[in-house]
Chains A and B, each alone.
Chain A
Amino acid sequence: MVDRVALFVTCLADTLFPQVGQATVTVLERLGIEVVFPLEQTCCGQMHANSGYPGEAELLARRFVEIFDGFDAIVTPSGSCAAQVREHFPGLLGGDDRGVPGRTWELSQFLTGVLGLADVGSTYEGTVAYHPTCHSLRLLRVGDAPLRLLRAAPGVELVELPDAEECCGFGGTFAVKNAEVSTAMLDEKLAAVVASGAGAVCACDSSCLMHIGGGLHRRGIDVRPVHLAEILAS
């Protein structure tokens, strides 16, 4: 039984979505797990890696391994950043990863896979559409872990999101470098969110939620973007 974890909050949640980090802490502590937050942490380097800057990405990966090496489990509320650590660090570091990738878990994977839980005591009330983010789905392969957690929350009414597995069009710098195409993809996702009739759209990545949420806000659509951790912490 894991009773102590290091939180990798991600640079994005740290800076822009602190409530996601706070919710992650709430859920883990509610389960009796001691949460440690190494203050030296910054970024896993995913943005650099995916944008074509492998040198910077490697430096940040080495830094990450240095900071988190001492922990048996590292938990992060991001499928995309977890995938960067688990799937891409070994290649970037040429095997010099000290086993950190294998000990790094996206939150829903940690709760369901490592702890074997589904009901984590959420009291969230409302209709929720779940958007499986691309990297959690196809790179990290979280499968239905987030859905099992949502289904076990008694107040959550899950509604079907049409074409749920389609990308929202974020893609990091893609959203800026190919803004028109990214927007066309976003518009399809937003239409699906509206069609679902949900009051909230939920995902395991703050980045995709920032994109979907930014689109909803611009268009005045009254649907709340909400991270899985926030639903579980409620």
Chain B
Amino acid sequence: MSLRGKAAVVGVAESDLGEVGPGFTPLDLIGQATLRALDDAGLDKSDVDGLFSASAYHHMPTLSAGEYLGIRPRYSDATSMGGSSFVSHLFHAAAAIDAGLCEVALITYGSTQRSGGGRLVSGSEADPYEAPFNPRYPVSMYALAASRHMYEYGTTREQLAEVAVSAREWARLNPKAFMRDDLTIRDVLDSRMVSSPLSIRDCCLVTDGGGAVVVTGAERARNLKERPVYVLGAGEAHWHRSISQMPDLTVSAAAESGSRAYEMAGMGPEDVDIAMLYDAFTINTVLLLEDLGFCEKGEGGAFVSGGKISPGGELAVNTNGGGLSYNHPGMYGLLLIVEAVRQLRGECGDRQVKSANLALVHGNGGVLSSQVTAVLGSESTL
């Protein structure tokens, strides 16, 4: 069964971002984002009959969101596999809509982790076979992957720093980005080491924030307010939960999720105008560019160097500034979709990628554990 072009994103929004201040709850941000996304779509809350969410705050996230919003869905999906969950929700929503199980799906997320203490809020349990050695979750796990990539392919800290600098260059074009100061490779290299080889500037931000995405069937989408952004393909894969169980630390399951999404879309990496890759750490961007076919395995370090993924470079990657410089509210996957849709609609102002018709959205979750890819396209790609 192919879902190609069967469903479309018709509304997107961020909640307030950055630091929203004390007192606001994650559900308040879900409320903000939902109102804005429904308004963007020209739909009413009463139109929503499918609800999708994941959370580090709420054990039963669609129940909590549904109650707060006053939505009584007939289809509810709280798939939880870390930051990629929301790309998975998009995939599952397209399938549910195609199967007639719901007509209008709302995917939503909110987190107040910055105002609530400034540390990552995570529901992750400790792995009893890893915990005695005190890895710092999750940065040490990604640092281990970086160390292996460096060993096998000669990837350097400078190349990882290129990822952070490129993200910052994009962020400087985005008024909603949390970090917009100048950033040089030297700054990244000299910043405080957290878990070698990753310094604090190799790590994503800890911000508040949330978002909402409204999805419906292609036919209904054509009669709504905004130009639809079609789901052309999607795929998911996971091979491990704990880093010590990851078969090869230089190859993520994105190699499978990406192939599945490309195959459904009938597209390949050469067709992609913008790539939104979940950059929890700088090594992610390198690994994902390789695993999603933009370059050969081991060449990711060279691929990101010399401004090739910066504004005006060869490939537009993480045009909102990414988790590294825009916002990263604990789980970031939903905001990848928001940016991709805005780029395909041409709403991105200074950072708008010219004639962007095809976007790759890729979510990562856990410790390089879950990988979910979606290919989104404008009308011309159908």
Are A and B associated in one complex?
A: no
Show the binding face of B for A, using Cβ within 8 Å. none
Show the binding face of A for B, using Cβ within 8 Å. none
